[in-house]
Chains A and B, each alone.
Chain A
Amino acid sequence: MEKELKVQMEGILENQGLARAIAAAYVSQFDPTLDELTEVKTAVSEAFSNAALHGYGGEHTEDVKKTVTMEFATVSAGTIMIKVMDKGCGIEDISKAMEPLFTTDTDQNRSGMGFTVMESFTDRLKVDSKPGQGTTVTMIKKLDTYYGF
Protein backbone atom coordinates (compact mmCIF):
# COMPACT_ATOMS: atom_id res chain seq x y z
CA MET A 1 0.00 0.00 0.00
CA GLU A 2 1.41 3.28 -1.08
CA LYS A 3 0.33 6.86 -1.39
CA GLU A 4 -2.40 6.55 1.16
CA LEU A 5 -4.96 9.30 1.58
CA LYS A 6 -7.69 9.42 4.17
CA VAL A 7 -10.46 11.99 4.14
CA GLN A 8 -13.29 12.39 6.58
CA MET A 9 -16.31 14.49 5.80
CA GLU A 10 -19.93 15.03 6.71
CA GLY A 11 -22.22 12.54 4.96
CA ILE A 12 -24.68 14.94 3.42
CA LEU A 13 -25.64 15.18 -0.26
CA GLU A 14 -24.20 18.69 -0.49
CA ASN A 15 -20.75 17.11 -0.13
CA GLN A 16 -21.19 14.78 -3.09
CA GLY A 17 -19.41 17.15 -5.47
CA LEU A 18 -16.53 17.56 -3.05
CA ALA A 19 -16.22 13.79 -2.60
CA ARG A 20 -15.75 13.17 -6.31
CA ALA A 21 -13.43 16.16 -6.67
CA ILE A 22 -11.18 14.55 -4.03
CA ALA A 23 -11.35 11.22 -5.88
CA ALA A 24 -10.48 12.97 -9.14
CA ALA A 25 -7.52 14.74 -7.49
CA TYR A 26 -6.17 11.46 -6.11
CA VAL A 27 -6.48 9.57 -9.41
CA SER A 28 -5.02 12.46 -11.39
CA GLN A 29 -1.54 11.81 -10.03
CA PHE A 30 -1.46 8.53 -12.01
CA ASP A 31 -2.14 10.23 -15.34
CA PRO A 32 -5.44 8.47 -16.08
CA THR A 33 -7.32 8.72 -19.36
CA LEU A 34 -10.35 10.98 -19.35
CA ASP A 35 -12.61 7.90 -19.36
CA GLU A 36 -10.84 6.39 -16.35
CA LEU A 37 -11.07 9.68 -14.47
CA THR A 38 -14.81 9.95 -15.18
CA GLU A 39 -15.36 6.33 -14.16
CA VAL A 40 -13.64 6.78 -10.79
CA LYS A 41 -15.51 10.05 -10.18
CA THR A 42 -18.83 8.40 -10.99
CA ALA A 43 -18.18 5.33 -8.83
CA VAL A 44 -17.16 7.46 -5.82
CA SER A 45 -20.12 9.75 -6.38
CA GLU A 46 -22.47 6.75 -6.24
CA ALA A 47 -20.83 5.31 -3.12
CA PHE A 48 -20.96 8.66 -1.35
CA SER A 49 -24.57 9.36 -2.23
CA ASN A 50 -25.52 5.86 -1.01
CA ALA A 51 -23.91 6.69 2.34
CA ALA A 52 -25.67 10.04 2.58
CA LEU A 53 -29.05 8.94 1.21
CA HIS A 54 -29.37 5.45 2.68
CA GLY A 55 -26.76 5.12 5.43
CA TYR A 56 -27.76 8.38 7.07
CA GLY A 57 -31.10 8.84 5.36
CA GLY A 58 -33.38 7.14 7.85
CA GLU A 59 -35.50 9.05 10.30
CA HIS A 60 -33.93 7.34 13.30
CA THR A 61 -30.45 8.61 12.62
CA GLU A 62 -30.96 12.30 13.18
CA ASP A 63 -28.79 12.57 16.28
CA VAL A 64 -26.05 10.40 14.82
CA LYS A 65 -22.93 12.19 13.67
CA LYS A 66 -22.94 11.71 9.90
CA THR A 67 -19.38 10.84 9.10
CA VAL A 68 -18.22 9.43 5.80
CA THR A 69 -14.59 8.36 5.56
CA MET A 70 -12.89 7.85 2.23
CA GLU A 71 -9.60 6.01 1.95
CA PHE A 72 -7.46 5.93 -1.16
CA ALA A 73 -4.36 3.79 -1.66
CA THR A 74 -2.25 2.36 -4.42
CA VAL A 75 -2.05 -1.43 -4.17
CA SER A 76 0.29 -1.94 -7.12
CA ALA A 77 1.48 0.10 -10.07
CA GLY A 78 -1.59 1.60 -11.71
CA THR A 79 -4.07 -0.14 -9.42
CA ILE A 80 -5.87 1.90 -6.84
CA MET A 81 -8.15 0.95 -3.99
CA ILE A 82 -10.92 3.22 -2.78
CA LYS A 83 -12.93 2.68 0.38
CA VAL A 84 -16.05 4.64 1.23
CA MET A 85 -17.22 4.03 4.79
CA ASP A 86 -20.19 5.23 6.77
CA LYS A 87 -21.46 4.47 10.24
CA GLY A 88 -25.09 4.64 9.24
CA CYS A 89 -27.97 2.17 9.36
CA GLY A 90 -26.26 -0.54 7.30
CA ILE A 91 -27.77 -2.90 4.73
CA GLU A 92 -29.88 -5.90 5.71
CA ASP A 93 -29.73 -7.81 2.44
CA ILE A 94 -26.61 -6.83 0.50
CA SER A 95 -27.22 -8.99 -2.56
CA LYS A 96 -30.73 -7.61 -2.90
CA ALA A 97 -29.46 -4.04 -2.56
CA MET A 98 -26.98 -4.72 -5.35
CA GLU A 99 -29.58 -6.01 -7.80
CA PRO A 100 -30.00 -3.73 -10.80
CA LEU A 101 -33.13 -1.60 -10.53
CA PHE A 102 -33.70 -2.49 -6.86
CA THR A 103 -34.71 0.68 -5.05
CA THR A 104 -36.29 1.58 -1.74
CA ASP A 105 -37.71 4.69 -3.37
CA THR A 106 -41.48 4.54 -3.76
CA ASP A 107 -41.87 7.80 -5.72
CA GLN A 108 -40.01 6.22 -8.65
CA ASN A 109 -37.62 9.13 -8.93
CA ARG A 110 -34.54 7.03 -8.20
CA SER A 111 -33.36 4.28 -10.45
CA GLY A 112 -31.79 1.64 -8.22
CA MET A 113 -28.74 1.58 -10.46
CA GLY A 114 -26.10 2.90 -8.04
CA PHE A 115 -24.32 -0.39 -7.34
CA THR A 116 -24.62 -1.44 -10.98
CA VAL A 117 -22.85 1.75 -12.06
CA MET A 118 -20.14 1.22 -9.42
CA GLU A 119 -19.67 -2.39 -10.54
CA SER A 120 -19.33 -1.57 -14.20
CA PHE A 121 -16.97 1.36 -13.68
CA THR A 122 -14.55 -0.44 -11.37
CA ASP A 123 -12.68 -3.74 -11.63
CA ARG A 124 -13.76 -5.12 -8.27
CA LEU A 125 -16.42 -4.11 -5.81
CA LYS A 126 -16.98 -5.40 -2.31
CA VAL A 127 -19.68 -4.36 0.12
CA ASP A 128 -19.39 -5.03 3.84
CA SER A 129 -22.36 -4.09 5.92
CA LYS A 130 -24.39 -5.08 8.95
CA PRO A 131 -27.63 -3.49 10.11
CA GLY A 132 -26.80 -0.79 12.63
CA GLN A 133 -23.07 -0.98 12.05
CA GLY A 134 -22.60 1.01 8.88
CA THR A 135 -21.40 0.12 5.42
CA THR A 136 -17.99 -0.10 3.77
CA VAL A 137 -17.72 -0.12 -0.01
CA THR A 138 -14.33 -1.20 -1.35
CA MET A 139 -13.50 -0.62 -4.98
CA ILE A 140 -10.45 -1.62 -6.98
CA LYS A 141 -9.71 0.25 -10.18
CA LYS A 142 -6.96 -0.64 -12.64
CA LEU A 143 -5.70 2.18 -14.77
CA ASP A 144 -4.99 0.24 -17.95
CA THR A 145 -2.89 2.88 -19.56
CA TYR A 146 -0.50 3.29 -16.65
CA TYR A 147 2.97 3.63 -18.11
CA GLY A 148 4.91 3.98 -14.88
CA PHE A 149 6.78 7.14 -15.84
Chain B
Amino acid sequence: MEIIFDVIGNTLIVEFFGELDHHAAEKTRVKIDTAMDNYMTKNLVMDFSKVSFMDSSGIGMVLGRYRKMGENSCNMAIVGCSKTIRNILNMAGVFSIIDYYGTREEAIEGFDRKEVS
Protein backbone atom coordinates (compact mmCIF):
# COMPACT_ATOMS: atom_id res chain seq x y z
CA MET B 1 0.00 0.00 0.00
CA GLU B 2 1.29 3.42 -1.02
CA ILE B 3 -0.28 6.74 -0.11
CA ILE B 4 0.09 10.17 -1.67
CA PHE B 5 -0.87 13.37 0.12
CA ASP B 6 -2.12 16.48 -1.59
CA VAL B 7 -3.25 19.76 -0.08
CA ILE B 8 -5.80 21.88 -1.94
CA GLY B 9 -6.71 25.03 -0.02
CA ASN B 10 -8.02 23.92 3.34
CA THR B 11 -8.31 20.26 2.39
CA LEU B 12 -5.88 17.40 2.90
CA ILE B 13 -6.36 14.67 0.30
CA VAL B 14 -5.13 11.16 1.04
CA GLU B 15 -4.94 8.93 -2.03
CA PHE B 16 -4.46 5.21 -1.45
CA PHE B 17 -2.80 2.85 -3.94
CA GLY B 18 -2.92 -0.94 -3.82
CA GLU B 19 -4.17 -3.35 -1.16
CA LEU B 20 -5.36 -2.21 2.26
CA ASP B 21 -5.32 -5.03 4.82
CA HIS B 22 -4.43 -5.28 8.52
CA HIS B 23 -0.76 -5.53 7.65
CA ALA B 24 -0.83 -2.33 5.57
CA ALA B 25 -3.29 -0.46 7.79
CA GLU B 26 -0.93 -0.04 10.71
CA LYS B 27 1.74 1.81 8.72
CA THR B 28 -0.87 3.76 6.76
CA ARG B 29 -2.50 4.96 9.96
CA VAL B 30 0.74 6.40 11.31
CA LYS B 31 1.51 8.18 8.02
CA ILE B 32 -1.94 9.79 7.83
CA ASP B 33 -1.85 10.89 11.47
CA THR B 34 1.54 12.52 10.92
CA ALA B 35 0.30 14.31 7.80
CA MET B 36 -2.84 15.48 9.62
CA ASP B 37 -0.70 16.93 12.42
CA ASN B 38 1.66 18.61 9.95
CA TYR B 39 -0.85 20.20 7.58
CA MET B 40 -3.58 20.98 10.16
CA THR B 41 -6.24 21.37 7.45
CA LYS B 42 -9.89 21.85 8.23
CA ASN B 43 -11.03 19.13 5.81
CA LEU B 44 -9.91 15.61 5.01
CA VAL B 45 -10.68 13.59 1.88
CA MET B 46 -9.85 9.89 1.56
CA ASP B 47 -9.64 8.78 -2.07
CA PHE B 48 -10.14 5.02 -2.54
CA SER B 49 -10.31 5.01 -6.35
CA LYS B 50 -6.94 3.25 -6.72
CA VAL B 51 -7.52 0.65 -4.00
CA SER B 52 -7.61 -2.84 -5.48
CA PHE B 53 -8.49 -4.63 -2.24
CA MET B 54 -9.76 -3.67 1.19
CA ASP B 55 -10.93 -5.71 4.18
CA SER B 56 -12.40 -4.66 7.55
CA SER B 57 -9.11 -3.01 8.54
CA GLY B 58 -10.23 -0.14 6.30
CA ILE B 59 -13.22 0.53 8.56
CA GLY B 60 -11.00 0.95 11.60
CA MET B 61 -8.65 3.17 9.66
CA VAL B 62 -11.46 5.44 8.43
CA LEU B 63 -13.28 5.66 11.78
CA GLY B 64 -10.03 6.23 13.68
CA ARG B 65 -9.21 9.22 11.45
CA TYR B 66 -12.79 10.47 11.79
CA ARG B 67 -12.42 10.51 15.57
CA LYS B 68 -9.12 12.34 15.27
CA MET B 69 -10.67 14.94 12.93
CA GLY B 70 -13.69 15.25 15.21
CA GLU B 71 -11.51 16.47 18.05
CA ASN B 72 -11.05 19.71 16.05
CA SER B 73 -14.59 19.74 14.59
CA CYS B 74 -13.43 19.25 11.02
CA ASN B 75 -15.06 17.86 7.87
CA MET B 76 -14.29 14.51 6.32
CA ALA B 77 -15.33 12.84 3.08
CA ILE B 78 -14.69 9.57 1.27
CA VAL B 79 -14.46 9.35 -2.53
CA GLY B 80 -14.03 6.80 -5.30
CA CYS B 81 -14.97 3.50 -3.64
CA SER B 82 -15.57 0.31 -5.61
CA LYS B 83 -18.82 -1.54 -4.97
CA THR B 84 -17.21 -3.99 -2.53
CA ILE B 85 -15.35 -1.30 -0.60
CA ARG B 86 -18.57 0.72 -0.24
CA ASN B 87 -20.29 -2.44 0.88
CA ILE B 88 -17.71 -3.12 3.60
CA LEU B 89 -17.70 0.47 4.87
CA ASN B 90 -21.50 0.43 4.87
CA MET B 91 -21.61 -2.64 7.13
CA ALA B 92 -20.26 -0.47 9.94
CA GLY B 93 -22.48 2.48 8.99
CA VAL B 94 -19.54 4.64 7.95
CA PHE B 95 -21.60 6.58 5.40
CA SER B 96 -24.16 7.62 7.99
CA ILE B 97 -21.51 9.84 9.59
CA ILE B 98 -19.07 10.53 6.72
CA ASP B 99 -20.16 11.99 3.35
CA TYR B 100 -19.50 10.07 0.15
CA TYR B 101 -18.72 11.70 -3.20
CA GLY B 102 -17.78 10.33 -6.60
CA THR B 103 -14.68 12.51 -7.00
CA ARG B 104 -12.44 14.67 -4.82
CA GLU B 105 -13.59 17.80 -6.70
CA GLU B 106 -17.17 17.08 -5.69
CA ALA B 107 -16.03 16.55 -2.10
CA ILE B 108 -14.28 19.92 -2.00
CA GLU B 109 -17.40 21.57 -3.47
CA GLY B 110 -19.40 19.87 -0.74
CA PHE B 111 -17.13 21.31 1.96
CA ASP B 112 -17.50 24.79 0.42
CA ARG B 113 -21.28 24.51 0.44
CA LYS B 114 -21.23 23.53 4.10
CA GLU B 115 -19.12 26.56 4.93
CA VAL B 116 -21.57 28.93 3.18
CA SER B 117 -24.68 27.53 4.78
Q: How far is the CA of A116 from the CA of B29 in the complex (A)?
A: 22
The interface size of chain B toward A, counting residues with CB under 8 Å, comes to 23
Given A42-B55, A108-B63, also A117-B91 (CB < 8 A): yes
Report the stretch among B16-24, B37-45, B100-108, B109-117 that lies at the interface.
Answer: B16-24
Docked-complex contact B84 and A109, CB < 8 angstroms? no
Interface residue A100 (Cβ < 8 Å from any Cβ of B):
yes
Q: Which of B11-52 contact A (CB under 8 A)?
A: 19, 21-23, 25, 29
Docked-complex contact B84 and A100, CB < 8 angstroms? no
Docked-complex contact A111 and B92, CB < 8 angstroms? yes
Q: How far is the CA of A120 from the CA of B56 in the complex (A)?
A: 12
Given A42-B88, A46-B55, also A16-B61 (CB < 8 A): no
Q: How far is the CA of A46 from the CA of B23 in the complex (A)?
A: 11
Q: What does the 1/0 interface line of A103-121 toward B look like (CB < 8 Å)?
A: 0010011110110110010
Q: Closest approach, in angstroms, between the C-beta of B85 and any C-beta of chain A?
A: 9
Interface residue A53 (Cβ < 8 Å from any Cβ of B):
yes
Contacts of B29 in A (CB 8 A): 109
Interface residue A45 (Cβ < 8 Å from any Cβ of B):
yes
16 residue pairs A–B, Cβ–Cβ below 8 Å = A13-B22, A16-B21, A16-B23, A17-B19, A35-B83, A42-B84, A46-B55, A49-B23, A100-B91, A101-B92, A108-B60, A108-B67, A110-B57, A111-B59, A116-B91, A120-B91
Contacts of A116 in B (CB 8 A): 56, 91-92
Contact size range, A: 20 to 34
Q: How far is the CA of A49 from the CA of B83 in the complex (A)?
A: 22
Interface residue A20 (Cβ < 8 Å from any Cβ of B):
yes
Interface residue A38 (Cβ < 8 Å from any Cβ of B):
yes
Interface residue A71 (Cβ < 8 Å from any Cβ of B):
no
Docked-complex contact A42 and B91, CB < 8 angstroms? no
